[in-house]
Structure 1
Amino acid sequence: MRFQPALDKIPVYEAGKPIELVVREYGISPEKVIKLASNENPYGASPKVENAIREAVYKMPLYPDDSYRNLKEALAKTHGVDAKNVIQGNGSDQIFDFATRSVLNPGDKILQNGKTFSMYSIYAGQCGAETISVDSVLHNLDLFLDSYKKNSPKIIFICTPCNPIGDALNKDDLFSFLEKISPETMVVVDAAYMEFGKTRDPKKEVQASELISKFPNVLYTNTFSKIYGLGGMRIGYGIGNEELIRAFYKLRAPFNVSQLSQLAATVALEDRKFVDDYLRSNLKELLRYEEFARTKGLSYFESYTNFITIELDKARLTSTQLFETLLKEGIILRNLKSYGLNAIRITIGKPEQNDIVLDRLEKLL
């Protein structure tokens, strides 16, 4: 069988190890496994969401309302936009898929940061497009602009705050950059960690309403997998001008978000106290990891997310050695070797989880 030649160059996305695999491989009880690898909410979802799902289980045999009116109106209210500016996705990944397929042809280019979410280049590769990466670990908008002028990409992906590094751009710097970009170039602002970023520093906050009103070529994306604890429900969304969203709907399959996922997301938006409590806990515990790294003389990236990336160039263990050692003990972190970094990424867990992880890091490093 002959497949598309473009597939030869596309890597398979490598997700964090699931708890079930660690249980099978190492014989560890599931309740003793600490998974801090995939930037999930350690507190899970709001109890209000859990109650709503239990009450709506009877709807599982039914197709969802394909207009997704309740969810889109709730998102529109949250972000101060119109429902016609919103599109729902099976995770925000699907919105990136819509973006690439809507404008890319074989031979086109996308522009992204040197270290960033790998699905941008994977979706671009599926369209036969080339990925240009800025030669920088942290977002450097001057380098972005130089590369933009040189390569004329069809899409620019900016992840702020950024996965897997944790850095974030100031809103004013981002807007100044966008003013220099042609309205014919799509810019995707991946804001999956925006709530965490603005909690640590309000200058990092980028509001979807202001963004799309000033820049019709910009798409704002976000997800319910992080702040709302709905990673297993696979739901995200995009916000953009009406013309952009209308084009995406031509690529969308019917019923692309499940009945219960739509309900979970809509209810999650209503429980602000749950979100705020998590944000306070996350920042407090994040600062503990930063203090640990400073005490040990380890380099780390100041994080505006729910994770921290610590470099191990000055440690006695490599990231792979540390990752594998902890894995055998039932502690799952993220090894960033595949990103070309001798570093580990640690999702910020509950205080009791962090106590255990920090104690083990203290002894191993």
Structure 2
Amino acid sequence: MKFNSALETIKTYEAGKPIELVVREYGITKDQIVKLASNENPFGCSPKVKEAVRSIIDNMALYPDDSMVKLKTALSNKYGIEPNELIIGAGSDQVIEFAIHAKVHEGSKVLMNSVTFAMYEIYAKQVGAQILRTASREHKMEEFYALYQEHKPSIVFLCTPNNPTGEGLNAEEMFSFIEKVDNDTLVIVDGAYMEYARFKNPAFAVEPRDLIAKFDNVLFLGTFSKAYGLGGMRVGYGIAQNHIIDALYKVRPPFNITTLSLEAASVALEDEEFVQECIADNFAQMRRYEEFAREKGINVIESYTNFVTLSLPEEKNSSKIAQELLKKGMIVRDLSSYGLNAIRVTIGTRVQNDRFFELTDPLL
């Protein structure tokens, strides 16, 4: 059977190994496994969210509210924007897919960082786009601008803070780059981890309202999968001027967000205190990873997220270390597929982190 020829150059996205699979493959009981691979909030979601979801469980026979008015109103209030400047997706990666299909066609060019979120390339290649990448591991705006001038891409992706490395991009520097970009190029600012960057250093915080007020060619992405602890609910969003949102709506399927997910995300926004407590704990625990790396002589990339990337010396192999940890029930992310001899570790609870240090210490 023949399929779209564009699929021949696409690598399947590798998600973090699920706990259930580790149980089956290694015969480890579920309570022995610690998953620090997918950048989830180790404390889960707000208790208020759990109560709200339970209260609407009897409404499952009805289609969800496709206007998503409750969630849009909550997000509009949070960011000081209009509801028509919002689109909701099943995770922010679905909004990425909307943008690719709305803007890119065969022969188009899409520019992204050398090491960044894999789905940018996967979605772009699905429609036959050419991928352009900078040379450096971190976002360097001079490299982006040189490639932009030469190729005039249809879309530029700026992932800040960046996944999978954790590095952040100074907001002023980013704004200066966008000012030089033609209005026909869509700049997508992926802020999936922006809540963490905003907490750590205001200079790295991008405010969507300021972004779309100044630029009519920018789409900001946010998600409930990270700081809000709703990875299993799959809710993300895009913020842009109305003419961009209108275009994205033309490729959005109806009822793309479940009733439970809409309720969970709406209520999650009501408990900002819970989110801030989780973020504060995240950075307190991150200091333990930084100290561990110093003791072991390992380079840790400064992170503005809820994970750390440990760059290993040449004599240590990230794939082997990740595999050895997996055998002991510790799930981390091997970054060899990104061309890095590194492992990415989600910041867990104190107990989970203790376990990571205990298991990893003899391997390094």
- One-letter identity of the residue aligned with 1:284: A
Structure-2 residue corresponding to 1:240: 240
Structure-1 residue corresponding to 2:164: 164
Residues 1-365 of structure 1: pairs in structure 2 closer than 5 A: 1-314=1-314, 316-365=315-364
Separation (CA, whole Å) in 2 of partners of 1:295 and 1:211: 41
Shift of 1:287: 1.2
Shift of 1:262: 0.3
Cα deviation, 1:303-360, whole Å, max 9, x if unaligned, reads 000000001125x531011101110110000000100111000000001110111122
Separation (CA, whole Å) in 1 of partners of 2:105 and 2:53: 41
- One-letter identity of the residue aligned with 1:317: K
Cα deviation, 1:169-194, whole Å, max 9, x if unaligned, reads 11111111111100110000000000
What percentage of aligned pairs have identical amino acids? 50
The normalised TM-score by structure 2 is 0.99
Shift of 1:33: 0.6
- One-letter identity of the residue aligned with 1:348: I
Shift of 1:5: 1.1
Deviates more, 1:303-312 or 1:2-11: 2-11
Cα deviation, 1:263-287, whole Å, max 9, x if unaligned, reads 0000000001110110110000111
Separation (CA, whole Å) in 1 of partners of 2:319 and 2:155: 34
Shift of 1:297: 1.0
Shift of 1:363: 2.0
| Unaligned ranges ≥5, structure 1 | none
Separation (CA, whole Å) in 1 of partners of 2:345 and 2:72: 33
Shift of 1:105: 1.2
Separation (CA, whole Å) in 2 of partners of 1:81 and 1:48: 25
Equivalent residues, number: 364
Cα deviation, 1:183-208, whole Å, max 9, x if unaligned, reads 11000000000011111111000000
Shift of 1:28: 1.1
- One-letter identity of the residue aligned with 1:349: G
Separation (CA, whole Å) in 2 of partners of 1:285 and 1:156: 33
Separation (CA, whole Å) in 1 of partners of 2:59 and 2:235: 18
- One-letter identity of the residue aligned with 1:327: L
Shift of 1:300: 1.5
SS at match of 1:143: helix
SS at match of 1:39: coil
- One-letter identity of the residue aligned with 1:361: T
Cα deviation, 1:95-123, whole Å, max 9, x if unaligned, reads 00111111111011000000000000111
Separation (CA, whole Å) in 1 of partners of 2:224 and 2:243: 24
Separation (CA, whole Å) in 2 of partners of 1:277 and 1:34: 22
| Unaligned ranges ≥5, structure 2 | none
- One-letter identity of the residue aligned with 1:55: S
Separation (CA, whole Å) in 2 of partners of 1:34 and 1:235: 24
- One-letter identity of the residue aligned with 1:77: N
Shift of 1:299: 1.1
Cα deviation, 1:199-246, whole Å, max 9, x if unaligned, reads 111100000000001011000001110001111111100000000001
Separation (CA, whole Å) in 1 of partners of 2:97 and 2:359: 40
Separation (CA, whole Å) in 1 of partners of 2:48 and 2:60: 19
- One-letter identity of the residue aligned with 2:358: D
Shift of 1:51: 0.7
SS at match of 1:300: strand
Cα-Cα RMSD? 0.8
The normalised TM-score by structure 1 is 0.99
Cα deviation, 1:64-98, whole Å, max 9, x if unaligned, reads 11100111111111111001100000110110011
Separation (CA, whole Å) in 2 of partners of 1:200 and 1:253: 37
Cα deviation, 1:240-269, whole Å, max 9, x if unaligned, reads 000000111111111010110000000000
Shift of 1:22: 0.4
- One-letter identity of the residue aligned with 1:6: A
- One-letter identity of the residue aligned with 1:276: Q
Separation (CA, whole Å) in 2 of partners of 1:107 and 1:98: 18
